[in-house]
Amino acid sequence: MNELEQAYSNAKRQQRMSAKQTRRLKRMSRIENRKHTRQFWLRTTAWATSCCAVALIGSLSLQNTLNDFELFLTKIEPAEFNTEQYQSIETHNLVEGEYLTTIAQQKQQLDNSLEGAKATLTEIHQTYGKLIHSEDGAWFIADCQNATLIEVRKSVLDELNVPKMHDAQLEQGVLLALSRNNQGQLLKIAAPTEGNNLHACP
């Protein structure tokens, strides 16, 4: 056992480093530690810089996208409220507790109907009749086509600007031209000119 301990002590003395070797080893260890520390900080800084760059690029991209979207929204014209595309408008309302529904036709449709009505009214049919009696309030005309007595009241005579009998020097039995529309309404009563009074139906 003593020989073994002695051999171990001898080997330990032979393997013991000198003070110079120890200092050199410590210096190399510190340099290596600094190198690892520097590499760690470099890697950490590079990673942090990369993350910041990615975040910055993402933020700029998002900002550009939002700006483009806002610009797109400003260029969109709001749909104009236009009721002319509808033929009729149905309105529901409560007035003093009573439910009311009204349906209004559009002006264009009404204008078209009015134009059609005007066209119908302006289709003129010519007939003839004899003036058989006149009063201050009415003329009585016998239709030449059939056995019909036409009574024309003063309101219509005034509307048609028919001259008074004594002003136009009209006689009983004089022939008159009657212009009518499709609904039979009188549009004009034409008396013959002075000196050309006709009395016979055509």
pLDDT digits (tens, 9 = 90+) for 154-194: 888 888 887 766 555 677 778 888 888 877 788 888 876 65
Beta-bridge mates of residue 190: 177
Within this chain, do residues 18 and 66 fall inside the same structural domain, yes or no?
Answer: yes
Within this chain, do residues 22 and 66 fall inside the same structural domain, yes or no?
Answer: yes
Q: How many helices (H) and strands (E) does the chain have?
A: 5, 7
Residue 93 CB partners (closer than 8 Å, separation 6+)? 99, 100, 101, 102
Alpha carbons 164 and 191: distance in angstroms, whole number: 11
Q: Indicate whether 200 belongs to any domain.
A: no
Alpha carbons 92 and 101: distance in angstroms, whole number: 5
Within this chain, do residues 71 and 132 fall inside the same structural domain, yes or no?
Answer: no
Q: Indicate whether 175 belongs to any domain.
A: yes
Phi/psi of residue 110, each to 5°?
A: -65, -40
Within this chain, do residues 101 and 118 fall inside the same structural domain, yes or no?
Answer: yes
Amino acid at 69: F
Percent of the chain whose pLDDT exceeds 70: 62
The pTM of the whole model exceeds 0.75: no
Within this chain, do residues 138 and 152 fall inside the same structural domain, yes or no?
Answer: yes
Residue 144 belongs to domain with CATH number: 2.40.50.140
Within this chain, do residues 21 and 60 fall inside the same structural domain, yes or no?
Answer: yes
Report how far apart, in Å, the C-alpha atoms of 148 and of each of 128, 143, 145, 189 are. 11, 5, 8, 16
Q: Indicate whether 165 belongs to any domain.
A: yes
Within this chain, do residues 91 and 146 fall inside the same structural domain, yes or no?
Answer: no
Phi/psi of residue 43, each to 5°?
A: -65, -45
Q: Given 75, 109, 132, which residue is the final one in a domain?
A: 75
Residue 36's domain comprises 2-75
Phi/psi of residue 109, each to 5°?
A: -65, -40
Q: Indicate whether 183 belongs to any domain.
A: yes
Within this chain, do residues 70 and 8 fall inside the same structural domain, yes or no?
Answer: yes
Residue 113 CB partners (closer than 8 Å, separation 6+)? 105
Within this chain, do residues 109 and 169 fall inside the same structural domain, yes or no?
Answer: no
Within this chain, do residues 107 and 137 fall inside the same structural domain, yes or no?
Answer: no
Within this chain, do residues 183 and 138 fall inside the same structural domain, yes or no?
Answer: yes
Report how far apart, in Å, the C-alpha atoms of 126 and of each of 101, 179, 189, 202 are. 45, 5, 10, 12
Q: How many domains does the chain have?
A: 3
Tokens, residue 75: 């260029």
pLDDT for the residue 43: 85
Within this chain, do residues 118 and 149 fall inside the same structural domain, yes or no?
Answer: no
Q: Indicate whether 198 belongs to any domain.
A: no
pLDDT digits (tens, 9 = 90+) for 22-51: 788 778 888 877 877 888 888 888 888 888
